Structure 1
């Protein structure tokens, strides 16, 4: 319907029934690693993992070794690891030239008698224009949902960690739907290739196939029975989207608009799409309380300490802070009135990667979506929308939010945020140059 209310839109979504006792929220990065390895070790039927990357470091090696061990114990175990095509074939940003993780995958495969297939998914012909940002690990009938990728910092191997959200959801129909999507929308497509085997085709050679694949992705959906709309209690709706005006984008905007009392948003990079900013402003005018939890610039995964050599990518956290300061200045009256709470997360030495939305006490969104123009226009994203009409998860949601908030500080006035003049000289020089040619606005669409 043209004038369908946000609440009516949400109620009409198909969904899977969910038992509250079959949802577990893990409180730390360390517990995420422990549970992931335990689930892999105990797998009997299938392991499907989708992540931006599986890194060649101690954390990534521990996961890959666990996968090979699981296959050795259960030779009939279905395993499929999906990572971004481009990200797997380059080194880390700012590092010296490397063969990327794909070379490591092949070396590991050659040393094993069993196969653990690792697939590269090319969402676009260039990484800048879109990556696989799909989240969710399906192990037998359990879905482990997190925005985390697989490396040292996401798994807290070593001193540093990158905070995220971690949910274990036991739900066979949901797990089946997510696996079916991977099989039909991704693994069956000719653009998707094994990275653990030699002779990987070049991106140039499959450019036309990639473009066709992206068009197919735009119409791909998770399979949820139409009859499931009648589910009345706790339920989960899986959503997926890529490109402009996709179903997930629409859901996010509708979800925020549906709030009647309170909205809590987590995002690591403050660079909101216009549609999200617009609906937030509308809700503030209605008197809805909004809490936005953002990583401090020093907790951004692109932040470079002054003690290390500066690289261009290190300017990003400062760009995000400038965005936040402009937003805070425009909404200072709402901040002063307590309707808007901007909370900076900073556990010194660690980084922040949390994403998600809580609406009143009856909806929450688990997602890897960064709520930025890139997520809304370029990357392949997904999410799990939890509807909790009887508020069976209210207590656990409160515990999770309290754990997040323990490292936050509220911004009382926009002047508490630094300005361009306060930044390190190299950052200041770069941002001024970008601003003169308006390249900062262009960059905001891609980063």
Structure 2
């Protein structure tokens, strides 16, 4: 019924959409916080993120708010939980809330034996330290398959750490091996307040969001009506952002929510950035499975002469990759599906790839993995986000991002330094022939790929994973 009611409005938005001919004007009209460029910085690498996270926890005096897909029951996850409880013991007035995905927190790792998941660790911490650190489970959908909490952001008093990373050994490089993600620190009281208020209002105020650190959380089936209402509220929710005048040298920072196909501010902004690009686009994604509108926008950008650079992980740097020497599981098919997508894209744009207008970068660093997301557009716009730029993030997961508009180009050197650092372990793909041939894939992979393509299930898999 809601789809029918909103159909005329969606049609009108498409017909008069400012995203097509006037994307730049539309972007410049977005509300934003005026943040001094000196208050924005990049943290290079997982070790820097790890150290900054622990330092901010130790220094916080009023509030700590962590939103992430999961906080893992492993050495790094326990280290973070112990640090949070230690901070509260030292300053009992400190408000500490951790929000994780409801479904993800109550299961074991994919391919491992059944377990109570990370929630058991949260409850153990309460038994040992008391209830000063509240851990909440956020059920974005009835089932994990159909969408998860992929909102990101860590608020410490008036400082925001923004990263697409979750919290576990590999994201925090606890034992040498790491998963590369981006992290930025922004010191701005108004931005921190907006991000904290959104989470407290939308999550703490919902009957669907329940504590995971307390015994006997309710079964998901008993929360289904509340989850339905929660989804409807999320669809209408937005960050509270002022229409600020941008002084010289300041950066316009706009927090954006993304949820669902219609009226998705984050998706619309990504398309506006791609459609409004005049010279250069740099796109980062961990899983090469671009939504149709993004593929179309990139094609238009190439046809109008824009330089396009895309960085993704080599299939061996994908977090689902299973080395041939290990027993194969079905989930290990995903990196090969993504590589097939890349092969088709490279073949389609072979001319631009050969001329250097299109550059496809494959990241690989030993046994480490790759999880970068985001956009750089021209010299004055960047998007920090946990959005994977795939169909699942486009339509199912609850996402967010920070749009940085920098008309004075005060952040240009910072962005270029980050881009140069990311390319240290990347090689340019010369053409689609440089990718491993499907004939050389492991036998189990070849068999599954043939079966999926025969019944066209590969398209469905691409949409869900």
> Which interval holds the TM-score relative to the shorter structure?
over 0.9
TM-score (normalizing by structure 2): 0.94
**1:66 aligned onto 2:83:** yes
Distance of aligned partners of 1:230 and 1:394 in 2 relative to their CA distance in 1, 3 Å threshold: closer
Whether the 8 Å CA contact 1:267–1:370 is kept in 2: the answer is yes
Shift of 1:377: 0.4
Counterpart residue number, 2:303: 285
Identify which range, 249-258 or 107-116, moves more after superposition.
107-116
Q: Secondary structure at the match of 2:375?
A: strand
State the partner residue of 1:259. 277
Which residue of the partner structure matches residue 8 of structure 2? Answer: none
Corresponding position of 2:47: 30
Conserved 8 A contact 1:16-1:231: no
TM-fit CA distance, 1:430: 1.2
Q: How does 1:268-347 map to 2 (within 5 A)?
A: 268-347=286-365
Query: Does residue 1:223 correspond to 2:240, yes or no?
Result: yes
| Counterpart among 380, 383, 387 of residue 398 in structure 2 | 380
Could you tell me which residue of structure 2 aligns to residue 142 of structure 1? 159
3-state SS, counterpart of residue 145 of structure 1: strand
Question: Where does residue 4 of structure 2 map in the other structure?
Answer: none
CA distance in structure 1 between the partners assigned to 2:247 and 2:36 by the alignment: 12
CA distance in 2, matches of 1:115, 1:50: 17
Following TM superposition, the consecutive aligned residue runs of length 4 or more in structure 1 with deviations greater than 6 angstroms are none
Question: Matches of 2:458 and 2:438 in 1, distance apart?
Answer: 13
- Do structure 1's residue 367 and structure 2's residue 385 form an aligned pair? yes
The SS at the match of 2:140 is: coil
Distance 1:413 1:30 in 2: 34
SS at structure 2 position matched to 1:406? helix
| Pairing 1:41-190 to 2, within 5 Å after superposition | 41-190=58-207
Specify the SS of the correspondent of 1:371: coil
1:354: which partner in 2? 372
Query: How many pairs were matched up?
Result: 446
The equivalent position to 1:202 in structure 2, one of 206, 219, 235, is 219
Contact 1:12 1:229 in 2 (8 A): no
Residue 393 of structure 1 corresponds to 411
Distance of aligned partners of 1:429 and 1:384 in 2 relative to their CA distance in 1, 3 Å threshold: same
Cα distance change on mapping 1:87 and 1:297 into 2, 3 Å:
same
Q: Report the 3-state secondary structure (helix = DSSP H, G, I; strand = E; otherwise coil) of the residue aligned with 1:103.
A: helix
Q: CA deviation at 1:418?
A: 2.0
Q: Deviations over 1:377-435 (max 9, x none)?
A: 00000000001101101111111000000111111111111232121111111111111
Distance in 2 (alpha carbons) for counterparts of 1:286 and 1:145: 33
Partner Cα distance (1:35, 1:278) in 2: 38
Q: CA RMSD in A?
A: 1.1
Q: CA deviation at 1:229?
A: 5.8
Per-residue CA deviations over 1:334-367 (Å, capped at 9, x if unaligned) read 1011110000000111000000100001000000
Q: CA deviation at 1:317?
A: 0.3
Task: Report how far residue 114 of structure 1 moved.
Answer: 4.1
- The alpha-carbon deviation at position 231 of structure 1 amounts to 6.0
What residue is the counterpart of 1:413 in the other structure?
431
- Report what 2:5 is aligned to: none
Q: Which blocks of at least 5 consecutive residues in structure 2 are unaligned? A: 1-12
Instruction: Supply the distance in 1 between the matched residues of 2:245 and 2:122 (Cα, whole angstroms).
Output: 42
Residues 77-86 or 21-30, more deviating: 21-30
Q: Does 1:440 align with 2:441?
A: no
